Amino acid sequence: MLEWIAILFVTSGLVYGLWSRRMQKFNISSPMMMVMAGAIVALPLGLWSQAPLEPLKNNFHFARVFSELTLAIILFLDAAILDYRKERPAVRVATRLLVIGLPLTVLATWVAAYYGIAPGMGLVPALLISLMVSPTDAALSRPVLENRHISSPVRQGINIESGLNDGLVLPVFSTALAIEAALSGQSTNGWITEAILEILMGAGVGIACGVVLGMLVNHAVARNLMIDRFERLFGVLSALLIFLLAEKAGGNGFVAAFAGGLALNIASSKVADVIESFGEAEAELLTMLTFFVFGLLILPSVYELWTGEMMLFSALSLLVLRPACVWLCMIGSPYNLAEKLFIGWFGPRGIASIIYLLIMVTLLGISGYEALVACVALIVTISVIAHGISASPLSEALAKHTKKKRPAEAGRL
């Protein structure tokens, strides 16, 4: 059975790839295609007819192992290939979004989740939901990043935010998981110390490995010691090495992967050029596989649990909370209202939300957290559709608006 699932996944990817240019003209993104493909494959397997959450419970080992490796690689690549050296205006946009906008979004979503999803939901589960759905996913708004008619600070600011926010949320998410595990009796005494030590150990291992690997890359590239195909593989191999070393040392492997990517990026001026081409292709493959698994296992598990309150919360999260927090953090910036609203809308939820959800289920299980699992899945589903459909037309609309209102960006801070 697993072989047939793999065949159907690969076939779906090939079909989309062959007609990708035409698909994009109809505003069908690769995440939309892969979620739909996974959901269709689940039909003959009988996953849609099983009891709620059973498909995920019965196939959780596969989803967990895959999610851990995927998140480690994505966190590392996001941090390692970010080009924050060139675009100062973009860095200013991203700084506003990460330092002010992200905490505001987490706080507002936390309050809304606590009061709006399910009666009796505790403060920590509500915080977990907020942390899972606050990080953004640039893969769902690829046309935004590729539209050169949109001002570079807006595009690159969204890109930098998406690359860093999941890593910044991760330590808080890990600590909240440890707190909830302790409160539910699944952890021994000393959980807060253990969580902090894991995060610090992971960061230490990641930074040390990143600096050493950065020095090695500089040396190898300067002396032309690496052949092209191993230059492209370097990023994935580095991510897995750092993740596994940190886990072996008792640290948090995900924190290590993110910290290692940042350290490598800072330590090596060559690293982005070495791994970016493969990083983009690898990220696209991982994105497709993640959304395929989402459609295959998670959607059939949760759709019967969706409620009106969850629908309302999802709409609030996507249409109000994120845009409002972005507008607040952009006060005083030189960008017009259309650009601020655009940045606020393009905070799609995707890979990080899915994988954080699987990590949570790994530690806490599903029993007692059914509403939490269903709500996160609903937000991702709506985001995949809404942001996938709107990316191209809204990008074109903003490009025309910006060209009309402000033909040149000269003098812009």
Residue at 328 is within a domain: yes
Q: How many domains does the chain have?
A: 1
Q: What is the pLDDT of residue 317?
A: 92
User: For residue 352, what are the CA distances in angstroms to 45, 87, 105, 229, 324?
Assistant: 27, 25, 16, 28, 22
Residue at 7 is within a domain: no
Q: What is the pLDDT of residue 76?
A: 86
CATH number of the domain at 82, please: 1.20.1530
- Rounded to an integer, the average pLDDT of 75-96 is 78
Summarize pLDDT for 387-397 with one digit per residue, the tens.
888 888 888 88
Residue at 57 is within a domain: no
Q: Label residue 156 exposed, middle or buried (CB < 10 Å: 0-12, 13-18, 19+).
A: buried
Q: What is the pLDDT of residue 327?
A: 93
Half-sphere exposure of 66 (CA within 13 A, CB side): 20
Residue at 17 is within a domain: no
- Whether residue 165 is predicted with pLDDT greater than 70 in this model: the reply is yes
Summarize pLDDT for 319-372 with one digit per residue, the tens.
999 999 999 999 988 888 888 999 999 888 888 899 899 888 888 888 888 999
Residue at 1 is within a domain: no
Beta carbons of 164 and 90 less than 8 angstroms apart: no
Phi-psi region of 173 (alpha: psi -120 to 50; beta: other; left: phi over 0): alpha
- Structural domain range at position 376: 63-135+150-405
SS (H, E, C) 26-90: CCCCHHHHHHHHHHHHHCCCCCCCCCCCHHHHHCHHHHHHHHHHHHHHHHHHHHHHCCCCCCHHH
Residue at 23 is within a domain: no
Q: What would the two tokens of residue 155 be?
A: 């595009």
Residue at 271 is within a domain: yes
- Rounded to an integer, the average pLDDT of 184-190 is 62
Summarize pLDDT for 32-81 with one digit per residue, the tens.
889 999 999 899 888 898 888 888 887 777 777 777 788 888 888 878 87
In this structure, the number of other CB atoms found within 10 A of the CB of residue 254 comes to 29
In this structure, the number of other CB atoms found within 10 A of the CB of residue 114 comes to 18
Half-sphere exposure of 65 (CA within 13 A, CB side): 3
Residue at 327 is within a domain: yes
Q: Which residue's structure tokens are 């972005």?
A: 326
